[in-house]
């Protein structure tokens, strides 16, 4: 059974009492609404480490749109069942006050990559992500932390932050897990209507099709997506689209 830890003090006590300083600790930070993508990160961590700790913290500072935060799926009982079925050892489940003892007065600001792609349309998003991930890594003190490549920009920024601040942790990118249809798994997929679920797989199909960015944008718009951005950089094509109210992101190698 996964052991739930709610406070920084409890984790510090456990960490010392069990001598986890000498164990390989793997960490999978999440915002809950877990799916097979998260499961793949946890499986990799349990395979590579002595203990695996996941966190669930729906981090308000990374939501630029209050409605997005309000509508974000919460499936705690199912999350717990999944963590148990995967033999995760601990779940760190802190409150807002536990994480933001400083009331979000101290922030990690990245001045370049965080301003493009998702950062351009979601102001402040990556400051919230980087700040919470810095806090979580400082609290948990893992040897390795695992992140999905669906959020490739997030992965690059977290890796960059850990290098910039000489953080003693290895950041491991893990392949995007997809439905058979090609749709990248995401907690937000739970918000799609049955009709939108039928269209959603076209996002990945069109994103990875040959052609110029303009053609990809046209194809997506014709299929019913509202395009936030399609851009090519660092050997990848990145995209974000809206299907109704749901924002989907994906990226493919080019
Ligand atoms: O990818 C996520 O779920 C979140 O951005 C993360 C890394 C858990 C930080 O809140």
59-107 pLDDT, tens per residue? 999 999 999 999 999 999 999 999 999 999 999 999 999 999 999 999 9
**What does the mean pLDDT of the chain come to?**
97
| Atom in ligand 1 nearest the alpha carbon of residue 148 | 1
Active site residue 38: yes
Ligand 1 centroid, distance to 99 Cα (angstroms): 14
Burial of 212 (0-12, 13-18, 19+ CB in 10 A): exposed
Q: What is the mean pLDDT of residues 195-212?
A: 97
Q: What mean pLDDT is predicted for residues 109-115?
A: 98
Q: For ligand 1, atom 9, which residue shows the shortest CA distance?
A: 129
Pick the atom of ligand 1 nearest to 151's CA.
Answer: 1
Cα distance between the two ends of the chain: 42
195 Cα to the center of ligand 1, angstroms: 28
pLDDT per residue as tens digits for the range 128-156: 999 999 999 999 999 999 999 999 999 99
Q: What is the pLDDT of residues 11-61, one digit of tens each?
A: 999 999 988 988 999 999 999 999 999 999 999 999 999 999 999 999 999
Residues in the chain: 254
Q: What local confidence, expressed as pLDDT, does residue 197 receive?
A: 97
What is the pLDDT at residue 187? 97
Asked whether 178 and 186 are in contact (CB, 8 A), the reply is no
Q: Is the pTM of this model over 0.95?
A: yes
d(CA 34, CA 93): 14
What is the model's pLDDT at position 174? 98
């Amino acid at each position: 059974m996964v052991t739930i830890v709610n406070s920084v003090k409890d984790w510090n006590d456990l960490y010392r009492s069990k001598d986890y300083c000498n164990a390989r600790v793997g960490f999978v930070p999440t915002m809950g609404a877990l799916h097979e993508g998260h499961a793949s990160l946890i499986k990799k961590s349990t395979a590579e480490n002595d203990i695996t700790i996941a966190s669930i913290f729906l981090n308000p500072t990374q939501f630029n749109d209050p409605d997005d935060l309000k509508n974000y799926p919460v499936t705690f009982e199912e999350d717990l069942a999944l963590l148990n079925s995967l033999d995760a050892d601990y779940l760190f489940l802190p409150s807002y006050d536990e994480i933001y003892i400083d009331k979000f007065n101290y922030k990690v600001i990245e001045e370049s990559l965080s301003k493009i792609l998702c950062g351009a349309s979601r102001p402040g998003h990556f400051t919230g992500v980087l700040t919470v991930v810095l806090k979580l890594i400082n609290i948990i003190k893992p040897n390795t932390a695992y992140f999905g490549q669906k959020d490739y920009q997030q992965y690059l920024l977290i890796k960059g932050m850990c290098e910039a601040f000489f953080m003693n942790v290895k950041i491991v990118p893990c392949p995007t897990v997809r439905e058979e249809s090609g749709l990248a798994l995401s907690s937000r997929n739970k918000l799609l209507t049955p009709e939108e679920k039928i269209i959603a797989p076209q996002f990945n199909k069109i994103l990875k099709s040959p052609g110029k960015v303009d053609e990809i944008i046209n194809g997506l718009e014709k299929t019913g997506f509202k395009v936030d951005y399609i851009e090519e950089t660092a050997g990848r094509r990145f995209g974000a689209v809206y299907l109704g109210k749901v924002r989907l992101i994906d990226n493919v190698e080019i």
